[in-house]
Chains A and B, each alone.
Chain A
Amino acid sequence: MTETHSPDATEQANPPRRNFLVKFAAVLVGGVITAVPLVFGGGFFLNPLLKKKSSDEDSDGFTFIGSTNSLLPGGPPRSYKVTGAKQDAWTTYAETAIGAVYLKMDEDRSVTAFNASCPHLGCTVNYKTDANAFICPCHDSSFNLDGERSNEIPPRGLDTLNVEVRNDNEIWVKFENFRAGTAEKIPV
């Protein structure tokens, strides 16, 4: 499809060199005036990537979860809500739900904590008594009681969290979230 337009009026009227300069200047000016709002708007849009999250230096990151008395040695794991301070854009929550953990106590009374969110794609896993395993309701990832995956659906086992028992019976957990969908455990 070739169709040539007749040369337009300006090109006949103006020497081509001047015409080129005018065109060049027009494109340049047009570029600048478009770029300015786009650059500032772009930076604004990219805020989540450009602005580093400020971490709270004062606290050691551990949160009180519950008492050891609520767990049986060798018994089934139990689910706990994690509440803590949270900065959500402009709102500062002194105390709000930030996640869930499973706690389980071994025969030797040592406590293990798992982040309850599924390493597959982030649903919250359930502990199923009949299967005595963690099963994710979303895509059937399953994990044994040690948190190891027992099928190939999730890329890794449940994420363990650091636990400390303080003042004899207080369970404190360092609550963290990890990236879903990767074999590696990468904090987010």
Chain B
Amino acid sequence: MNRLLDWLDHRTGYRDLMHEALNEPIPGGAKWRYVWGSTLTFTFFIQVITGFCLWMAYSPGATTAWESVYFIQHQMVFGWVVRGIHHFAAQAMMILLILHLMQVVIDGAYRAPREVNFWLGLVLMQIVMFLGLTGYLLPWDQKGYYATRVATEIMGSAPFVGPWIQQLVQGGPSYGNHTLTRFFALHAGVLPAMLVMFLGLHIYVFRRHALHAIKHEGEEDGVFWPDQILKDGVACLAVLAAIMGATLYWHGAELTAPANPAEAYSAARPEWYYLFLFKFLQFEFVSQWGEATHLGEALGAIVIPGALFAVLALMPITAYFKWGHKFNVAYLWSMLGIAGVLTGMAYYEDWYADTPEGRDFRQAVDEAHRDGARTVALAESKTGIPPSGAALLLANDPLTQGPKIFEQYCLSCHQPESRFDDFAEAPQAPGLADPNNRDQIDFGSRDWIRSVLTDFGGHFAALANIEGDRGEAAEAILEGSMKDWSDSNAETLTASENADDYVALVEFLYTQSQRPDALSPGSDVVLRGMEIFTTGELTNGSVDACVDCHSMHPLVVDPSGLSDRWILADEALSEDLQPVLTGYGGTEWILQMVADPQAHYAGEYGNNAMPGFADQMTQQELELVSKWLAKDFYVAPASEEAESH
């Protein structure tokens, strides 16, 4: 073994190198305050390892970036751990950078002959900040997408060359595939290569001038190996523990819904270490100065921070003057203080302040989380992620889009109770659903059916608020034959002897919607309900038979037995009577109703008070909102959901 090492040493001189590296003397002995540089190097090493791993699974592209990150996060071995480490190590690096900078400035370690190394350090800091900026976009989720767009818009605001720089960075006039390929090349290639280069120079120059030691009286001198190395190692261990702790606590880094330029995201914020700048730009006086100086956004985003940074860079020169060092330390503290206060303010306003903006922000964050989880659930469903990308899963999901369409077209008339205050006008129709509580659909529910049957007048009372042309129709409904039916039969139907029959009739009607919790049309309860629907005969007394006014092809279990699907019976219970109850409350029924209520659901004598939407909504919108109201959307199995979180 020794001879082999001798041989190797003869050819490479590694022993001298090791000796040089390890036996660096430390005047005053090893100290904890010298560990920051090593922890930074170590964190960079973590980033390289996890970064290479992620690289092997990541695919930069507008329809593959989110998808591959989803795969890393939810399918791969240690995927979320590796991604989480990479994410939190990036945060740790920023913190350590600040601490390293503080230590250097406070100790005066930037002074001659170490000026150049101080500048190299500042360059490294810029590179790390750009690494964070470029990395944030790569998952191509709503959060990263909108945060990064703010940053590139700022670049575009730079005087003269701004628009060109912005186009170069984005790879074109707007965001897309080339934005990702370019950001990825910067993030995984250019910037790390520059970092290695500058880090090499930084360490080389550092070794050349030796450690800037703080030696107190009576302290013994030490050597780098093993005393300082042990301290460095323990500090790195602490950093690693913090990173691992954060990763486990938050279950890795979050992945919100896939980026969608058409979907506004009102919680766009940069990473926390840019938050002070974000807050600074929000001040009105910053914009006013920008206008006054004709620099616009660039003043607050580029010129002022640039000037402040220049003062930082000039520290080694400033230090030549009397009081120079004191000024530098004071400057650093005040800058950190201001940045800290701005960060705190931004953080407080977003997460705690009871202002409309704060509430909007938190709601947008909640929605992004919800949509992210929904996309993951859809991606894990049988359909999986189509080649056209996961954003489509969400765009075609009735549960996600239905409430938005409803809010846009339906809500002002069909106001849910919780939203009465939002509208100046009184509701003109019964509430159907609450877009803010999208799992709860009132329309067509068992409660709804009961209320229509036994309290028709109360149920549709809001129709009385309709004025103008449709007012007449509304009046006709409120005084129509169904109102009479309800008034005269409610008592019999709700009599305690008929309780089971009432349930059966409701279940029969509910089954027609084919909702996930509907009973099978072959079940005894539903069959009994059909009997009542056709004959009106109850255990105790009778009601006027429904078939006398409503035609319907009821649902039946496929008689061929080939499939367990439900199909419409060939034979109708009664025909040519309006309104038709075939498929009542189901997707198709709702779609026809929304598209053209007059044609679909107006009795021979009456008409329908609801306007038609066939020429206002697109076919896709009609389908999405109908499917949502009919609960016709994918529901993830409960157990799996619990498992993955």
Contact = CB atoms under 8 A, between A and B. Distances in A.
B19 A13 contact: no
A30 B233 contact: yes
Main secondary structure of the interface of A (DSSP, over half): helix
Main secondary structure of the interface of B (DSSP, over half): helix
Contacts of B230: 22, 25-26, 29
B226 A92 contact: no
Contacts of A45: 53, 56
A41 B50 contact: yes
Contacts of A25: 226, 230, 233
13 contacts: A8-B223, A30-B233, A37-B50, A40-B85, A41-B52, A41-B78, A43-B78, A44-B56, A44-B79, A45-B53, A47-B57, A90-B385, A91-B387
A186 interface: no
Interface of B: 6-7, 9-10, 15, 19, 23, 25, 42, 45-46, 49-50, 52-53, 56-57, 64, 67-68, 70-71, 75-79, 81-82, 85, 220-223, 225-227, 229-230, 233-234, 236-237, 240, 244, 379, 383-387
A3 to B, nearest CB: 8
Contacts of A43: 77-78
Given A9-B222, A96-B387, 5 more contacts: A2-B6, A13-B220, A29-B234, A43-B78, A91-B385
A17 B56 CA distance: 46
Contacts of A1: 6-7, 9-10
Interface core residue of A50, A51, A92 (most chain B CB under 10 Å): A92
Interface in A30-62: 30, 32-33, 36-38, 40-41, 43-47, 50-51
A44 B76 contact: yes
A30 B19 CA distance: 18
A9 B228 CA distance: 14
A29 B237 contact: yes
Contacts of B237: 29, 32-33
A96 B384 CA distance: 15
Contact of A10 (B10, B227, B379): B227
A54 to B, nearest CB: 10
A5 B16 CA distance: 9
Given A37-B45, A40-B78, A50-B77, A91 B221 contact: no
A188 interface: no
B49 A37 contact: yes
A47 B50 contact: no
Nearest to B221: A9
Interface core residue of B9, B49, B56 (most chain A CB under 10 Å): B49
B61 to A, nearest CB: 11
B49 A92 contact: no
